[in-house]
Each structure stands twice: as structure tokens, then as C-alpha cells.
Structure 1
Amino acid sequence: MMSQKPELTDLTICRAAFAAWVFVYHLDLHLHFSAWLGPAAGLVRHGYMGVDGFFILSGLVLMHTHQEFNAPNMDQVDARFRPAPPQAWLRFYGKRLARIYPVHLATLLILLAVLALGGALGIAPQSPQRFGLGSFVENLFLVQGWGLDHFGAWNYPAWSVSTEWAGYLLFPLFALLLTYWDRGVSLQLAIVVFPVMGLIYYFAGETLNLAFAAGLWRLIPEFLAGMVMVRIASAAADYDVWRRVFIGGGAALILLGALTVDVATVLGLWMLLFGLYMQYDAQRPPAFGRRPALHFLGLLSYCFYMSFAIAELLTVQLFRHLGWQPTDEKALFALIMTGLTFILAILLRGFVEQPARRAANRWLAEDAPAQAPPPPATEKPQSLF
């Protein structure tokens, strides 16, 4: 056995793939290039499923990283329940806010500046109803995805960040319940989640493209599905089953995604991530190998995801000003929107996300109580998320 488990490299690369999937989906809404892709058109047209990958991945990574909320091991002699102290809750929520809020706030302010500049130049946004004061306040408090907003307001991809924030608030309770019961209950929950998703899919009109007012229905079962992976992975990780689950999940994801069966695509996403996590848990090398470029894109993925709507707005306004149609200049539209998204993402990561996280880590470290001795080297390291 290795003395220390490797970094979650594969899951970081998955973040890049999920962000790219969502981006290509939104690009296709303007350019309609999926019409030329034949059987692969369904994968592009259902690129919103990348958000489902993020929801599952969030539950997995939080459960892997934050074990301070776990229930005591009932096999121990002294198994009295000691709830996590308030400081642990505050540190957890502080870390989560430092991860998501600075970039979210920066994108709101960028959009506000763009609108102010456009107003001064006499340029009205294409959809002015997106930019109301009430929606701005909801975005400031990260509640726009809790059933309050029914329209793609301001930086519209941030609805999923708001929804994930609700998941973060519930995470300590979910972690306590999942670890209080034995792994068999977690396995049963993993099985039950998918029929529940099937019911949501059916009553939503055979789609999981649920956002804003219905976003929590999409998040909660997928978030829990990600959490239970950590509980059940160790029971199977030392067997070679991880490769079969990973390959089967990837094949199901491609096939069922092309067939546009959303709930089955979620199952494929779950299997793919579960196979990768079992591979990690068994201390094997990354399935995707060492890919520095893809790893960097994974680290950039949150800023990229939060930037594309601003780039889209600017590109659409430019084309309107020039009197061009995106479908007539597909390559140019795609090039401008992609370039602007990457530029904004790199700037946000370098000047907002990383400094904010470093500052939060210093602040939280100052307020943290004295820590116990470091855990044995065989325990799982902190993830990058």
C-alpha cells in the first residue's frame, strides 16, 4: 500500500469536462451547429447535464474532505456523540463562501458596469427583464435558485451556485445522518436516488433541465448520490470493479446522453465518477494520467463557468451592433465568445478567486482552535475543491 493517497486529479479534470459541456450547449443555442452532428447532436443539446455532474461531484468532494461532521464510529469503546462545535460549522461555511462568493460577486459587478456603460452609450440589453433590482438583491444573497426566481436573471449560470449553496447549508446534517447509519443504508439510498430522479424527470415533462424555481429538486438527490459514494467506495475499491464501473458509466453517459434520456444520463455520470473515486480510494494512479493542461482547466472551471454568460452578452451585443447574425458567422461568434470567456476566467481566477481563498484561509486559521496532531499518512488528503 502507498503511504499517502494521490490527489483527486481525475475529478478535477471532470470539472473541466462538465464546464465545457455546459458551454458548448449554450454556444449551440446561438449557432445550432448540433444539427450537423448526427447521432452526437443529443449530447450537445443536453449539455445542461454538465450541471448535474457538478451537483454529484460537490456532494462527493465535500463528503471526502469534511469529515468533522461525521457521526462517531459505533465500534469504538467511547462512541458518545459529540456534535461538531460551532467553530467547525463557521469554518466550513466560511470556506464554502470563500470558494464561491467572491467570483459570483465580481461577475455581478462586471455586469452592472457593462449595463451602466451601455446605458451611457445608449445601448439597451437584449433582454432587459433579466436585470431587475429584485433579482440583483436575490443574487447578492445567493437565494435566486431557491424557488424565488423564474427567469435567467443577471449572471444566469449562477442559479446553480445558489442552489449548491443550499446544499452546503444542509451538508453537515446530511453527513451526520449518512455516517450514523451503516454503509448498507447508504447503498440503499444510492439505489433509491435514481427512481426518485425518474419521478422528477417524469413530472417535469421528461427533462431534468430544471433551474431557478425548480433547481433544488434537481440538486438534493444528486448531491446525496455524490455523498454516498464516499461511504460505499471503500467496500469495493480494492477489487478491480472500479474499471468496469468507470467504463460502463462513460459508455452509458455517451450513449444515453446521445439518446437524450436525462435521468439515465445522471446514472452514467454517477457511475463514471464512482469508478474514478474507487480508483482513487484504492490508491491507484489517475485513470486519465497526469495531464497538466487538463488539470489547469479543471482548476479554472468555476471561473470559466461563471464567465461565459458575460462573454455571451458582449458577443451578442457586438453582433447586434454590426448587424450580423450569429448563424451567418458561426466560427467568428464561437471564437469571440470562447476567447472572451477564457480571458475573463483567467482574470477572475488570478485577481479574485485565488486571493480571496488565501485571505479566507488565513482568517479562518487565525480563528481556529488548537488542532489535534496530524492524522496518519494513510488517511485521505484534502481535495482541491
Structure 2
Amino acid sequence: MRSIIHQGRIISMATVSQFSVEAPSDAASVQSYFSTLTALRAVAAIWVMLFHIDVIVYYRELGTLLPKEFSGLLTQGYLWVDFFFILSGFVLMHVYGARFEQRLSRQTISSYLKARFFRIYPLHLFTLVLLAIFAGVVGALLPQVMDASWVNYFDEQAFLSNVLMLNAVGVHDTLSWNIVAWSIGAEWWVYIAAIMLFFTVNLKHPLRTLLVAMVNFVALALLMYSSDKQNLDITFDRGLLRCLFEFSIGACLYVFYQRGIAQSALSLNRIALITLVAVIAVLHWRLNDLLIIPLFCLLILTAVYNRSHFYHLLMTPALQYLGKISYSIYMMHGVCFMLYWFLLPELAIAFEIQQLSIPLLMLYTASFLTLTLISAALSFRFIEVPGRVLFRARP
């Protein structure tokens, strides 16, 4: 078996998170809503899911969806978490920036934190409960699946840290439980830190905003080059910093959007196409991870400025719906990851399969996608939406 544990860490388990950047459920929702960004959330969430689908078969030595020597389109999929961090800062600056600039009161802060908490936490806690049940049932019925990765993933000592969203600050030395939720923990603490960021970054001080963006980009570069792998695959240990720096860049980006900088150029279809091709090129050729940050910024701006072909593509009903449930897609695919990670090798042994053929890889991928999308639709309806209603019901 390929080494999946190195110095106490699970290799290549950086995950994207899907973040709460859709129209908020509180009074702030009266502000305009960037519908085109909803579609980009769908693209990012599905890309991350494909990344993890490939991780399972590769590290379980059953094949690969895309030859790694040919392309990094899947192996670099962890970079879409950076898109979500930037997007989160952009949208929340749009929703809350003016409010905090006008009045930094206890009531404003309380309303903001309650809205963010009830947006992310109900589903986060639900997935932890699901995985606790999974670990108990599968561990009792199929003890043979309890390999070294089981000990790391279902570390009982790490459960409370996950409940408290302390899963991206280095409390433990590996990802655990819902491994995609490290980014949710990082986001929560950045939401708190962002209160002062919203107050600092505003339209009246563009030069100061530019300086803040540059400082955060430099800090991100230092963070990346100080890591063992020297890339942005930074999760359970210092993922909070990765989120903070990129969230801040996204908040600054919104100020530039407000000022209409380069709007006429960025609204063109050809600029959107060039940006998309550049993003794919960075992933395909595994170029320096830092290059993706300005490209994601451009992608966001082209999406909100464009009103032509790119706009109509992003407004298709399928992309809009997938974007609407993208947080559930993200969180539920983390649950499905555990199901396939531990049970797929057992099926391979039972049917004496050494490598998954192309038809079997297609069947495996289709089943993973189907299970995730169905469970995401259900969790959105019965967990996410009630969670927002709970917030509205609170005084």
C-alpha cells in the first residue's frame, strides 16, 4: 500500500471547504445578492469532491481517475479551498462591511455572529454525529477495516476539538472525523477576527486597503514557504492563518469592486475565458500555488461584472441549484469519503480486484457523486434550512 501516513500526518488530505457565502438569513439579506457567485461555489465544491474521489482510489492503490504524471487538475484540487476563503471575504464584506463601518455596537456584532454560527454549525455537528455512528457500527461489524488511518480519522481525543471547531489550529497532528470540516473551524474563528477587518477595510481608504491586501499576500507566501511541502495544502495545523490571509484579500477585493476598477475590461467574455484557462493551466501544470490567488480574484470579479455569455452560463438552473446546496455537498462528501475510504478496499478484496478498470472507475465515481448529491439535497432541506430558521426565531 502507498504510504498514507507520514510523520503522523495523512498525506494529501487537504480539503476544501464549502463556506457560507450565500445570501445571509438575517436582515442583511436585503442587500443585493451575487447570483453568479453561487454557480462558482458549485464548480468549486464539485472540483473538491473529485479531488477526494481520486485521493481514495490512489492511496488505496486501486488506480487513479486522471494519471498524475499527465495532469494536476485533480491532484491540485485542494486549491479550491483558497477560492472559497477569498470568496467568503468578498461576500461578507459586501453584506456586513458598511454596517460595521457605520456602527460597531454590541447588537450588530451579536447579530452577525449568530447569523454566521447558525449558518455553519448545525450541519457541521450533524456530520460529526453521522461519523460517530458510522465509526461505532462499522468498527463493531467490520473490525478488519480498522487500519492505521482509522486510528487517525476516528481519534476519540480529537472529537471534542472538532465539536468546538478547533480543528485548524494545530491542536492535533492530523485531520480527523469529517476531514473537510477543518476549513469550517478556520472560517468560524476568522469570522470573529473579521469584525475589526470590516472596520479597517473600506471604500474611503483605497490605499490602506491595497496595503492590507499586499501584506496579507506576503504573509500567505511566508506561510506557504514555511510549510514542509511549500504549497498551500495547509489544513489542520495552520489552516486558520491560511483562511485569515485569504479572507482578508477577499474583503479588500470587494473594495476594489465597489470602486469599479477595471470594470469595462473585466466584464468582457474573453477576459472571463482567459481567466478560466489560466486557472486550469495553473492546476494542470502544477505551477506555483500562489499564482492561483490573483486568478481567483479575477474570476470573482469577472463573474460579478459580466452580463453576457459568461453571465448566462453561470445562471443556468443546474449550476444555481448546485451552488445553493454547495455547503451541504461539501460537508456530506466528507462523510461519503469515510464510507468509501474504508469499504471500497473491502469490496475490492471480496471481488478479487487489484485495480479498478475504467468502467469500474466510472461506476465508483458516479456512485460517489450520486450518494453525495442526494444526501446533500436532504441535509440542505432538513438540516441547513432549519438551522437558519432557528436563527430567525431567536430574539
Does the 8 Å CA contact 1:68/1:88 hold for their aligned counterparts? Answer: no
Mapped partners of 2:42, 2:105: distance in 1:
35
Aligned: 1:348 with 2:373? no
Quote the residue 2:77 is aligned against.
47
Larger Rg: 1
SS at match of 2:177: coil
Task: Give me the CA root mean square deviation.
Answer: 2.6
SS at match of 1:240: helix
CA drift of 1:143 comes to: 1.0
CA drift of 1:197 comes to: 2.8
Deviations 1:187-238 (A, max 9, x none): 2333444343333332223311000012123111110111012212122258
Quote the residue 1:22 is aligned against.
48
SS at match of 1:302: helix
Does the 8 Å CA contact 2:263/2:305 hold for their aligned counterparts? Answer: no
Quote the residue 2:112 is aligned against.
92
Deviations 1:7-36 (A, max 9, x none): 411110111111111111111122422217
- Assess, with a 3 A threshold, how the Cα gap between structure 1 residues 184 and 326 changes in structure 2: closer, same or farther: farther
Mapped partners of 1:285, 1:336: distance in 2:
30
Q: 1:272 aligns with which of 282, 299, 309?
A: 299
Mapped partners of 1:143, 1:201: distance in 2:
21
Quote the residue 1:383 is aligned against.
none
Aligned: 1:139 with 2:159? no
Mapped partners of 1:116, 1:17: distance in 2:
34
Mapped partners of 1:125, 1:321: distance in 2:
11
Name the amino acid aligned to 2:281: L
Q: 1:290 aligns with which of 299, 315, 321?
A: 315
CA drift of 1:318 comes to: 3.1
Mapped partners of 1:171, 1:326: distance in 2:
49
Q: 2:210 aligns with which of 187, 202, 206?
A: 187
Mapped partners of 1:91, 1:235: distance in 2:
28
Quote the residue 1:233 is aligned against.
257
Does the 8 Å CA contact 1:64/1:230 hold for their aligned counterparts? Answer: yes
Q: 1:315 aligns with which of 318, 323, 340?
A: 340
Aligned length: 347
Q: 1:251 aligns with which of 265, 270, 277?
A: 277
Quote the residue 1:115 is aligned against.
135
- Assess, with a 3 A threshold, how the Cα gap between structure 1 residues 246 and 236 changes in structure 2: closer, same or farther: farther
Name the amino acid aligned to 1:67: G
Unmatched 5+ residue regions in structure 1?
73-82, 368-385
Mapped partners of 1:303, 1:249: distance in 2:
27
Q: How does 1:121-160 map to 2 (within 5 A)?
A: 121-123=141-143, 124-126=145-147, 127-160=150-183
Mapped partners of 1:13, 1:64: distance in 2:
18
SS at match of 2:233: coil
- Assess, with a 3 A threshold, how the Cα gap between structure 1 residues 271 and 36 changes in structure 2: closer, same or farther: same
Deviations 1:58-94 (A, max 9, x none): 101110111354335xxxxxxxxxx422121111111
Calculate the TM-score normalised by the size of structure 1: 0.82
Deviations 1:133-187 (A, max 9, x none): 2210001111111221221100000001001111111111110111386112212
Does the 8 Å CA contact 1:49/1:209 hold for their aligned counterparts? Answer: yes
Quote the residue 2:390 is aligned against.
359
CA drift of 1:305 comes to: 0.7
- Assess, with a 3 A threshold, how the Cα gap between structure 1 residues 62 and 326 changes in structure 2: closer, same or farther: farther
Name the amino acid aligned to 2:48: V
> After the TM superposition, which of the residue ranges 323-332 and 169-178 deviates more from structure 2?
323-332
Mapped partners of 1:108, 1:27: distance in 2:
20
Aligned: 1:223 with 2:247? yes
Mapped partners of 1:137, 1:317: distance in 2:
23
CA drift of 1:117 comes to: 1.5
Name the amino acid aligned to 1:310: V
Mapped partners of 1:227, 1:32: distance in 2:
37
CA drift of 1:101 comes to: 0.5
Quote the residue 2:220 is aligned against.
197
Name the amino acid aligned to 1:314: L
Mapped partners of 2:342, 2:363: distance in 1:
14
Does the 8 Å CA contact 1:130/1:154 hold for their aligned counterparts? Answer: yes
Calculate the TM-score normalised by the size of structure 2: 0.80
> After the TM superposition, which of the residue ranges 287-296 and 345-354 deviates more from structure 2?
287-296
Mapped partners of 1:209, 1:284: distance in 2:
34
CA drift of 1:249 comes to: 3.0
> After the TM superposition, which of the residue ranges 145-154 and 173-182 deviates more from structure 2?
173-182
Does the 8 Å CA contact 1:56/1:225 hold for their aligned counterparts? Answer: yes
- Assess, with a 3 A threshold, how the Cα gap between structure 1 residues 352 and 239 changes in structure 2: closer, same or farther: closer
Unmatched 5+ residue regions in structure 2?
1-29, 58-62
CA drift of 1:246 comes to: 3.8
Mapped partners of 2:328, 2:389: distance in 1:
16
